[in-house]
């Protein structure tokens, strides 16, 4: 299965907040031999969020959506998820109980009202209104849950909450996939060449070795290597990677193509 990430919020697109989800999700997946296939950023626009989620539900991918599941006027994710699915919203009974636990806890700690009919309590319990059929995602930070519909999972925008929730999903629901996306890379520094002149070799390697991808990473001002191209191959262990890399090096054997260090990842 592919893994995708959706990051929602005007504050990310405007630069008021720096995104901390992309790098962390890549890290969490990589530590489990998995990889992120795609990432989408979207602002607080209900139409765009609904379209993005409709695509996510139809993708068949495992998707983590971060942000917009609160109950303030700029939080649209819960409503957009329901619209994308074509189902109504309803207060989830287990989510309600978890939120009320939090309300009672804060009543003791901060003197808040724990009256279920108090306007503040009603507003807080709105955070447990999910698309019908959703399952909750426990939130170890403050008990206010996220929710899942199929393989699309909705967590808060706060990294301190979102990241443990995503990690728990990876280690429970998707534990059987660990290692499925493990890849290795072999590459070499190429000096004095243009990508256009290397493209035929890259096409040939991919055509000859099934499951192998060739990549080129040009740099014009590297502090050590200066202008160069990092040219390499990547694929699953045992997929013919070593043979493909040997063929790549063979194709680079020319006095006109000076090579630098080789790298293994």
Give the strand pairing for 184-190 and 226-235: antiparallel
Do 136 and 240 fall into the same domain?
Answer: no
Please report, for the domain that includes residue 82, its CATH number. 3.40.980.10
Q: Do 120 and 52 share a structural domain?
A: yes
Say if residue 47 is in the same domain as residue 73. yes
What is the full per-residue pLDDT of the chain (265 aa) written as tens digits?
899 999 999 999 999 999 999 999 999 999 999 999 999 999 999 999 999 999 999 999 999 999 999 999 999 999 999 999 999 999 999 999 999 999 999 899 989 889 999 999 999 999 999 999 999 999 999 999 999 999 999 999 999 999 999 999 999 999 999 998 888 999 999 998 999 999 999 999 999 999 999 999 999 999 999 999 999 999 988 789 999 999 999 999 988 899 999 999 8
Evaluated on CA atoms 156, 159, 161, 165, the torsion sign reads positive
The DSSP secondary structure of 9-47, one letter per residue, reads -HHHHHTSS---HHHHHHHHHHTTT--EEEEEEE-S-HH
* pLDDT attached to residue 260: 93
Residues in the chain: 265
Using alpha carbons only, give the angle 80, 84, 88 rounded to the nearest 5 degrees. Answer: 75
- Do 8 and 107 reside in the same domain of the chain? yes
CATH number at residue 195: 3.30.70.2860
The reply to whether 96 and 54 lie within a common domain is: yes
Instruction: Annotate 98-136 with DSSP letters as a single string.
Output: HHHHHHHHHHHHH-----TTSHHHHHHHGGGEEETT-EE
The pTM assigned to this predicted structure is 0.88
Domain closes at, from 130, 156, 177: 177
Residues 209 and 254 in one domain: yes
Residue where a domain stops, chosen among 177, 211, 229: 177
The domain boundary residue, chosen from 177, 212, 236: 177
* Rounded-to-integer distance, Cα 90 and Cα 95, Å: 11
Count of domains observed in the chain: 2
| 186 and 261 Cβ atoms separated by less than 8 Å | no
Domain that holds residue 250: 184-264
Same domain membership, residue 206 and residue 140: no
Cα 126 off chain centre by: 26
């Amino acid at each position: 299965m592919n893994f995708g990430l959706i990051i929602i919020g005007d504050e990310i697109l405007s630069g008021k907040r720096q995104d901390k989800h992309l790098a962390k999700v890549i890290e969490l997946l990589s530590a489990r031999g998995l990889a992120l296939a795609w990432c989408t950023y979207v602002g607080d626009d209900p139409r765009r969020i609904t379209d993005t989620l409709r695509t996510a539900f139809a993708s068949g991918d495992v998707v983590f959506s971060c942000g917009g599941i609160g109950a303030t006027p700029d939080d649209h994710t819960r409503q957009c998820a329901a619209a994308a699915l074509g189902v109504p919203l309803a207060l989830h009974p287990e989510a309600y109980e978890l939120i009320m636990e939090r309300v009672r806890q804060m009543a003791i700690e901060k003197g808040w009202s724990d009256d279920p009919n108090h306007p503040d309590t009603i507003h807080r319990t709105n955070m447990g209104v999910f698309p019908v059929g959703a399952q909750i995602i426990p939130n170890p930070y403050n008990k206010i849950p996220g929710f899942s519909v199929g393989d699309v999972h909705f967590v808060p925008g706060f990294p301190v909450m979102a990241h443990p929730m995503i990690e728990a999903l990876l280690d429970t629901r998707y534990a059987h996939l660990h290692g499925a996306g493990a890849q290795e890379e072999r590459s070499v520094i190429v000096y004095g060449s243009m990508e256009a002149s290397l493209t035929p070799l890259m096409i040939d390697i991919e055509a000859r070795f099934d499951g192998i991808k060739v990549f080129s990473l040009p740099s014009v001002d590297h502090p050590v290597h200066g202008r160069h191209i990092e040219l390499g191959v990547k694929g699953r262990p045992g997929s013919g990677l070593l043979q493909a890399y040997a063929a790549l090096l063979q194709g680079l054997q020319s006095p006109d193509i000076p090579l630098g260090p080789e790298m293994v990842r």
